[in-house]
Amino acid sequence: MLSKNKAIVLSKVKYNDNDLILKCYTAERGLISYLVRGAYSSKSKSGKMGYFQVLSQLQIEEDFKPNRSLQYIREIKSLFIYNSLQTNLHKSSLAMFLAEVLTSALKEESKNEDLFNYISGSLDYLDHETEVANFHLMFLLQLTKYLGFYPELPQETTTYFDLESGLFTNQAALYTIEGLQVELLQQLLKMPFEAYPQIKLNAQGRVAFLNVLLLYFELQLGYFKKPKSVEVLNQVWH
The pLDDT profile of the chain, 238 residues, written as one tens digit per residue, is 789 999 999 999 988 888 899 999 999 999 999 998 887 776 654 446 678 899 999 999 999 998 898 999 989 999 989 999 989 999 999 999 999 999 999 988 889 999 999 999 999 999 999 999 999 999 999 999 999 999 999 989 999 999 999 999 999 999 999 999 999 999 999 999 999 999 989 999 999 999 999 999 999 999 999 999 999 888 887 6
The predicted model scores a pTM of 0.93
Instruction: Give CATH for domain 89-236.
Output: 1.20.1440.120
The full set of domain ranges for the chain reads 2-80, 89-236
**What pLDDT does 43 receive?**
61
Q: How many CB atoms lie under 10 A from the CB of residue 202?
A: 10
- Which CATH topology does 2-80 take? OB fold (Dihydrolipoamide Acetyltransferase, E2P) (2.40.50)
> What's the Cα-to-Cα distance from 221 to each of 71, 106, 156, 169, 217, rounded to whole Å?
27, 10, 27, 21, 6
